[in-house]
Structure 1
Amino acid sequence: MEDEDLAKYLPSFGDRLAVKNFCRNRTALQSHKKGLFEKLRQKQNEMKAEENRKQKNEEPADTSASTSNKRRKASHRKIEIGWLHCEGGEMKQIRAKQGGGTRIVPIAVECGMDEVLQKGKKLFFPDGMSSKGHESEFNFELRDYKQNPVQQDVSIRFIYDTLCMNRLRFYVVTTAKKYVSTTDDMRKRVVITIEDEDEEVTFGPGGPDDDNDGDDTLPYEFVLELQPCSSSSLLVMDAPPDELLSTSPGQLLSTSPDQQLSTSPDQQLSTSPDQQLSTSPDQLLSTSPDQQLSTSPQEQLSTSPHQLLSTSPQASVRKVIYIHHGNCLNELIQEFMDPAVLTQQLSFRRILPDNSVEMGIGDGVMRDVYTAFWEEFYDRCTVGTTAKVPFIRHDFNPDTWRAIGRILLSGFQTCQYLPIKLALPLMEDLFHGSVCSDILKSFMHYVSSQDTVILKTALEDFSKVDSTDLMDVLQAYECRKMVNAHTLPQVLEEIAHKELIQKPRYVVDCWKEVTRGKISIDKLLAHYEALKPTPRRVQGLLEFEEVTTSKRCEVENHLRRYLRELDDDHLGKFLRFTTGSDLIICSKIKVIFTKMSYLSGRPIGHTCGCVLELPESYDNFPQFRSEFNKVLESNIWVMDIV
C-alpha cells in the first residue's frame, strides 16, 4: 500500500512508519519459523534415508559371504613365505637385501607342508645357493606365523579353514649342520648313525683345548667325547685314507652292546705313529686313567660304538659353551646355574658382534673367557678401587651368587685363574673362615687414592691432617665415633672390617656352599702373590729364539723396554694378548721373529701356546711402542687362528 492511500486511514506520519515497521518485522518472524520447519523436515528425510541404506546393506553381506564361498572353492590361494636363520642359539629373519624377505606365492590349496617347504627352498636357495651358504650345509624346517613347527599331514585348505585368515604366512627355518672337516693328506672321517641310543660318541682330532701338555702335532691324536643325544647317536672316527677304505661299516657294529667302557673323566686318548700297532681295542677301553693310551687307526675302527655308548655320561663329557662378546657375565652365569657343570669338561667358543663364531678354540680361549667374565664382574658387581668387594644386587638371587662361586672354582681348577682384585681378607674369609692378612692395608687399597692419602697422613701425624677432609672421609663410611690420634687406628680397622667382611657376608656365604674346602689358605696366599704381574716378572717369562741377528736383538731390546714402561693396566692387557689371561698363569712366553713387510708387520699372539710373533721390520722404539699400543688399546681381539 502506498503512503498516500495509508494516509487516509492514519493521518499521522509517525503512525504510518510504526505500522510499516511492524509489518516488516512480522514477515521476518514468519520466514524464520518457516526455516525451522524446513530443517526438521530435512532431518526426518535423512533418518528415513539412513533406514533405507541399512536395509540395502544386507545385500553386500550376502555378497561377501558368496565371495568367501568362492575362495573356499578356489583351487589356488596366495601365501607368504619368509626365511628364519638360527645361528648361535638365536633365530633371526633374513632381510630382502640378503636374499630373504617376504615372498608372496600362489599355491594349490590341496598342497601339504612338504611342498611349501620345497617352494621356500627354491625361493631362498636358487640353484642351491644363498647368502648363508649351500643348502647342503643346513637342516630345514617349516614353521607357522607364530614360529611354531607345523604338522606335516595338513593341507593349505585345512589351515585356511581353521585359522580363517586372509593370507597364511610360513617361515623356512635353517640351522647349520654340525659337520667335521677333513684333511686329505692326513685323515678322513667315518660317520655312522646308531638309532635309539642315548649318547653321542666322537673320536675327533685333539685340539688345543684338550688337557694335554705333550706335543699337539701328532698325526693321529684323538679325544673320546660323550655327549647327550636326543633320538640317535653319532659315531665320528678319524682314520687315515688307506685304513678308511679297507674297513667296512659292519666291522664297527660287531661288538655286543652290553660291553662296558671303563674310561675315567680325565682320561685322554692319544697315539703316535710309532705306537699305532701296540694296543688292542679291549686294552684301549680298559686302561686305567693314569696310563697313556695308544692305538692304531685300524683298531680305532674295530671298536664297537655300543661299547662306547654304554659308558656313563659323567665319564668324559665335554660341554661346549658359546659366549657373545660383551655379554660374558650374564651368559656364563646362566651356564653355571647347574651344579653338574663342575663335573664336565668345558670348551668355550666366542660369538663375534657380527653373530659369527670365532675360529679360535682351546685353552687360550678358556682363559680369555674367564678373564672377560671377571673384568665385567669387577665393573658391574663390585665396589672399591684396587681392592674390590661384591655388593648386593636385587636382581641376583642365591642361585646366581652360587653360579658365580662355581665360575670362581672352575677357573682355578682348569687354568689356575683367581680374581686377585677381590680383597684378600674377603678371600681368606671365604676359603679359611677367618682373616689372616692386614685388613687395614687392604682397606687402603679399597678406598680412593685421595682418601688413602688423607688416612695415611692422619695415621702418621694426626696434627698435620685437615680435620674437615678427615671428617668427610669418615662420614662417607658412616663412622659414628669421634676420633683422635689414639682412637683412629681402631676406628679404621672397624670400618675396614665392616666394608670388606660384613657387607659382602651374604655373597661369601653363597660362595662357601660351592668352594668349601677346595683351596687351602697356603695355596691361596701363594697364588695371590704369584699371579700378580709386574714388569720384572713378565720379562722373566720371555723366552727368545736361540738363533739371533742384530735386527732381532734390537727388537728384543724394544720389547723389554716396552714392558718396563707399562703400567698395571697395560701389563695385564699384554699378558691377555699373549696368554689369554691378565694374570701370570703360564710359565713362559715364547717370542719368535718373522719377516713381514712394513705394511703387514704387526704383533701376533697365540694364546693357547703362549707364543708372541714379532716382525723384524721395526726401525726404532717409538714405532714399536706405537704399534703395540694400538693392538693393546683396541676394543676387541679376534682369535682367527685354530
Structure 2
Amino acid sequence: MDAPDCLHGFYSFMRERGIDTALFELEKIGPDTVSKMSDDDLINFGIPRFGDRVAVRSYVGSIPRPGPSGLSCHSGPSTLPSRLLDLIKDKAKDPDLRKKKLLGNKNAKKKDKSFEIGWLMNDGVKVKQVRQKNGGGTRKLKALLTTTALEVMETSIQLFFPDGYSKFGLVEQFQFSLCLYDETVIDDLTKTVCDIIQRTKINNLRLYLLSKKKPLSSSPVDEMVEDSDREDLPEIVAASTSSNAPAAPLVNEMNQTIGNSDREDPPEIVAASSNAPAGLFAEDQKDGQEKSLNELDHSGVVQFRMNSESLNSLDDTPMVQERHFNHENESPNDVYVVQDADTPTVQFRLRHQLEDTLMIESSPERTDKEMSVKLILHRGMVFEDLNEAVKVHGLECLLQQQPLHVQMLLPNGVNEAAEDTGGVLRDALSEYWETFFTKCSSDGDVRVPVLRHDMKNTWSLCACVLVLGYQSQGYLPTRLTVAFLQHCLGQCPSPKNITEAFLKMIPQDERDVLNRGDFEDEDFIDFLATHDVRKTVNEGNWCEVLHEIAHKVVIQQPAYVADVWGPILRQHLDIHPDSLQDLMNSLQPTPKNILKILVFEDDSRSKPMSDYLKRFVKHSSEERCQRFLRFCTGSDAVVCSELHVKVVDYSSEFARQPVAHTCGFLLELPNYSSYAEFSEEFSNLLKSDIWVMDIV
C-alpha cells in the first residue's frame, strides 16, 4: 500500500495541474498503480490531455521508494548514473585497483619466447642479408627464456647450413657470430634470451647469424707461401736430363696434383722426368727453389724462368697440351703446362683455372707474326664461348688476328670437317645473335635489348662481338633497330625513325588497332594502359602521345645498354649515323637484295635453274630469305656483293641436293626437271634444323 504522505503529495500535484482526483481517490489509485496504467486507462480516469499524462508519469518516476534493505532508491533513469558515479568514486579512492586485479596474469608467466632469426653474410666489403632463394630468409623460432645466445647461434647454423653445407660453401669455411637487429655483435654468448629482451626493450625480438669466410691463409698453398723459409718443405725437383728417359709430353708424366685446401698434408710440387734439356732450369738449384716458392701466389701458378738457351732447346719438346671447354672426364685438380709465346716462362696451372681460357693453337712452322688465333666454339654454345673468347683475348687482339679462324665442335664432341676462311665465322656470328635475340631482347620484327640482372658484365662483350663481326665480315645484326644503334653512336634519332621502329616492335593486331584510330575502342584503351599512358588521348595529341610511348620503349628502357655499348661502338665502328640506315637496308635479307647478288653462268644449261632460283627467292618470306642466306653464305644478312650459282650434274638422283660453299660464296645446284621439284627439295632443305659443314 502506498504511504499516506506519498499519496497526498501525488494528489496535490494532480490538483495543481487541474486534474480531478476524486475518481483516483475513490478507486485508491496511487503512484505505483499509475506507473502500470496505459494511456487509455489514464484517459478513462480523467486525464485526457497528453501533457498531463507525461507529467504524471514523470512525477511518479521521481518519487523515491524503499529498497530491499530499507534504504530509499530511485527507479528509472536515475539508477544507472548513480552506479557509474559509485564506480568512479571507488577508482579515485584506489588508483591501483586495476593492477591488483591483473596480479597473477598467466600471460606474464610464460617460460618461452617466440623470435625471428636471419642470416647476414660479410663478403669483406659490406654486409648483405642472404635471401630465402639462396638458403637464407627469415626463420621463426621459439625458445625458453633461459636459452643462451650460444645455443641460439648453434641452432641457426644448423638451419642455414643443413648437413654442414650451404650455397656459399661448407660450414668449416666460415666464422660465425650472433648480432642484433642493428648488426651489433653479441660478445657475451652466455646471455639468455630474457637478458637480450630486457636490454633491447623490444618485445618482437629479431636476431641475425653473421657469417664471414675464414682467411685464405689457412689453405695448404698459402701455408707453403708463408713458411717458404722452412727446411722441411717439399723440394721442386728439376727435370731429369738422362738420355735414356722416354720421350713424352711433360704433362702426361705429371702424376702429382695440387689438392684441395681441405687436405692436411701439403702436396709436393714435382716436375716430372722428360727429355727436356739440361738448361731448362739454368740457375743455381737453391736459388731456383726459392724463386719458385716466392712466385707461387694465390692463383696457384708456379713459374720457372728460363734463359735463352733453354728456350731455344724447347723447340722440339711437346710442352703444350691442348684443351677445350667442358672437361667432363678430368679431375678438377689436374695440372696443366701452358707455354707463353711472348715471354720465356713456363707456367704450371690447375685445370679448373684454365676453364675460362681459350687455347691458342699455333703451328710450329709459323713465326710469331704469322701466328693467328683459332677459336674453339661449341655448336649450341656459341654465345657463351664467343663472349669468353672476347673476355680472355680482348677485342684488340682479335681484331689484329686476321684471318680469325673458328673451329666448330658438334654436340657429340666431334669437330666439324670445315676449314674456316670466313664462312664458319659468319655462321658463328649468326648463331650468336640468334641466341642474343632469344635471351635478351624484346619481341617483334625489330628488337632492342632488354635488361637482365644476370647480364651486367656481358653487355660490353656483346658490343665487342658486334664490332668484331662488322670489322672482320661486314656483318651487323639486322634485327636491331636503327634508332637504337644511332643513339649508341651518339646521334639523336628523328621522331619518325623512333615511331616507325616502335610500330615494327608491336604485334600486328595492335598495329591494326592504332591504324583504326578509335579512341573509345576497348583494345585501344588496353594498349594505352599497357604502356602506362595517364593522359586523355584525342586527335589533337595522339601523335605526341605515340612518340612518347615509342621513345620510352626504343630509347629510354634500353638506356643502360646504350651507355655500355656507346663508347665501344663509337671507338671501333667507322659508320656515320646518317648512313647507318642505308647500310642496314643493304644488309636486310629481302628478295630484292638477294636477287642483286645472284650471279649465274652464261650458258644455256644454267638458264632454267636461274629462272627457278629467282622465282623461288621472289616468293620467299623474310624468314626463308634469312635461312637461304645462312645456307649459302653462313650469314643471315647480305654480306657479300656476289653469290655465284653453278649448275652441276650428279650421277644419281639420291645424291642430288644443293651444296653451298660458304667461304667462297658459291651455290651448286643440280638439274631439276621442273620448278615443283626444285621448290620442294630446296624448301625441305631450308626447313632443316641442322646443317653440318663438311667441306674442307
Distance change (3 Å), C-alpha of 1:154 and 1:493: closer
The equivalent position to 2:460 in structure 1, one of 378, 388, 402, is 402
What does the per-residue CA deviation read over 1:519-551, in whole Å, with 9 as the maximum and x for residues that have no partner? Answer: 2213422211111122122122111112332xx
Structure ID, larger Rg? 2
Distance 2:554 2:587 in 1: 21
Distance 2:604 2:521 in 1: 61
What does the per-residue CA deviation read over 1:11-42, in whole Å, with 9 as the maximum and x for residues that have no partner? Answer: xxxxxxxxxxxxxxxxxxxxxxxxxxxxxxxx
The equivalent position to 2:586 in structure 1, one of 530, 549, 561, is 530
Distance 2:647 2:432 in 1: 32
What does the per-residue CA deviation read over 1:439-462, in whole Å, with 9 as the maximum and x for residues that have no partner? Answer: 11111001111111111221xxx4
The equivalent position to 1:562 in structure 2, one of 603, 606, 616, is 616
Distance 2:535 2:607 in 1: 62
TM-score, L = length of structure 2: 0.48
Conserved in 2, the CA contact under 8 Å of 1:200 and 1:235? no
Distance 1:634 1:194 in 2: 57
Secondary structure of 1:591's match? strand
1:621 Cα deviation after fit: 1.7
Q: Are residue 424 (structure 1) and residue 482 (structure 2) matched? A: yes
Q: Are residue 439 (structure 1) and residue 460 (structure 2) matched? A: no
Secondary structure of 1:605's match? strand
Conserved in 2, the CA contact under 8 Å of 1:200 and 1:228? no
1:235 Cα deviation after fit: 6.9
Distance 2:255 2:677 in 1: 57
1:142 Cα deviation after fit: 5.5
Conserved in 1, the CA contact under 8 Å of 2:612 and 2:678? yes
Distance 1:567 1:410 in 2: 29
Distance 1:199 1:571 in 2: 53
- The 5 A counterparts of 1:36-435 are 140-141=252-253, 143=255, 195-196=310-311, 236-237=364-365, 318-337=372-391, 338-345=394-401, 346-360=404-418, 361-397=420-456, 399-435=457-493
Conserved in 2, the CA contact under 8 Å of 1:349 and 1:365? yes
1:406 Cα deviation after fit: 0.7
Q: Are residue 521 (structure 1) and residue 577 (structure 2) matched? A: yes
Secondary structure of 2:373's match? strand
Distance 2:666 2:249 in 1: 35
Distance 1:634 1:613 in 2: 18
Distance change (3 Å), C-alpha of 1:154 and 1:319: closer
Conserved in 2, the CA contact under 8 Å of 1:198 and 1:228? no
TM-score, L = length of structure 1: 0.52
Distance change (3 Å), C-alpha of 1:197 and 1:513: farther
Q: Flag structure 1 segments of 5+ consecutive residues without an equivalent.
A: 1-113, 115-120, 122-134, 156-192, 202-225, 239-307, 310-314
What does the per-residue CA deviation read over 1:290-320, in whole Å, with 9 as the maximum and x for residues that have no partner? Answer: xxxxxxxxxxxxxxxxxx55xxxxx665221
Distance change (3 Å), C-alpha of 1:140 and 1:394: same
1:567 Cα deviation after fit: 0.3
Distance 1:593 1:137 in 2: 50
Letter in 2 for 1:363: G
What does the per-residue CA deviation read over 1:124-171, in whole Å, with 9 as the maximum and x for residues that have no partner? Answer: xxxxxxxxxxx999984565799999966899xxxxxxxxxxxxxxxx
Conserved in 1, the CA contact under 8 Å of 2:362 and 2:371? no
1:391 Cα deviation after fit: 0.9
Report the equivalent of 1:615. Answer: 670
Secondary structure of 1:438's match? helix
Secondary structure of 2:476's match? coil
Q: Flag structure 2 segments of 5+ consecutive residues without an equivalent.
A: 1-238, 240-245, 261-266, 274-307, 317-339, 347-360
Distance 2:372 2:314 in 1: 12
Distance change (3 Å), C-alpha of 1:199 and 1:348: farther
Conserved in 2, the CA contact under 8 Å of 1:454 and 1:469? yes
Distance change (3 Å), C-alpha of 1:154 and 1:560: closer
Distance 1:622 1:364 in 2: 30
1:197 Cα deviation after fit: 6.3
Q: Are residue 539 (structure 1) and residue 595 (structure 2) matched? A: yes
Q: Are residue 624 (structure 1) and residue 678 (structure 2) matched? A: yes
1:554 Cα deviation after fit: 2.2
1:635 Cα deviation after fit: 1.3
Distance 2:683 2:314 in 1: 48
Secondary structure of 1:349's match? strand
1:592 Cα deviation after fit: 0.8
Q: What is the number of equivalent residue pairs in this alignment?
A: 367
Distance change (3 Å), C-alpha of 1:200 and 1:451: farther
Report the equivalent of 1:580. Answer: 634
What does the per-residue CA deviation read over 1:26-77, in whole Å, with 9 as the maximum and x for residues that have no partner? Answer: xxxxxxxxxxxxxxxxxxxxxxxxxxxxxxxxxxxxxxxxxxxxxxxxxxxx
Distance 2:309 2:467 in 1: 37
Letter in 2 for 1:359: A
Distance change (3 Å), C-alpha of 1:139 and 1:387: same
**Residues 528-537 or 593-602, more deviating:** 528-537
Distance 2:580 2:470 in 1: 10
Letter in 1 for 2:683: N
1:340 Cα deviation after fit: 3.7
Letter in 1 for 2:541: T
Secondary structure of 1:395's match? helix
Conserved in 2, the CA contact under 8 Å of 1:319 and 1:344? no
1:419 Cα deviation after fit: 1.5
Distance 1:528 1:594 in 2: 34
Q: Are residue 503 (structure 1) and residue 560 (structure 2) matched? A: no
Distance 2:487 2:568 in 1: 14
Distance 1:443 1:199 in 2: 61
What does the per-residue CA deviation read over 1:79-123, in whole Å, with 9 as the maximum and x for residues that have no partner? Answer: xxxxxxxxxxxxxxxxxxxxxxxxxxxxxxxxxxx9xxxxxx9xx
The equivalent position to 1:450 in structure 2, one of 509, 516, 520, is 509
Conserved in 2, the CA contact under 8 Å of 1:143 and 1:150? no
1:469 Cα deviation after fit: 0.5
Distance 1:199 1:318 in 2: 21
Distance change (3 Å), C-alpha of 1:584 and 1:605: same
Letter in 2 for 1:542: L
- Higher relative contact order at CA 8 Å, sep ≥6: structure 1 or structure 2? 1
Distance 2:421 2:272 in 1: 47
Conserved in 1, the CA contact under 8 Å of 2:362 and 2:372? no
1:237 Cα deviation after fit: 3.7
Letter in 2 for 1:503: Q
What does the per-residue CA deviation read over 1:216-270, in whole Å, with 9 as the maximum and x for residues that have no partner? Answer: xxxxxxxxxx9658758987449xxxxxxxxxxxxxxxxxxxxxxxxxxxxxxxx
Distance 1:230 1:350 in 2: 31
Tell me the percent identity: 29
Conserved in 1, the CA contact under 8 Å of 2:586 and 2:593? no
1:384 Cα deviation after fit: 2.7
Conserved in 1, the CA contact under 8 Å of 2:598 and 2:642? yes
Determine which structure has the larger strand proportion and give its number. 1
Secondary structure of 1:444's match? helix
Distance change (3 Å), C-alpha of 1:235 and 1:609: closer
Distance 1:200 1:447 in 2: 61
1:200 Cα deviation after fit: 9.6
Distance 1:470 1:613 in 2: 51
Letter in 2 for 1:196: L
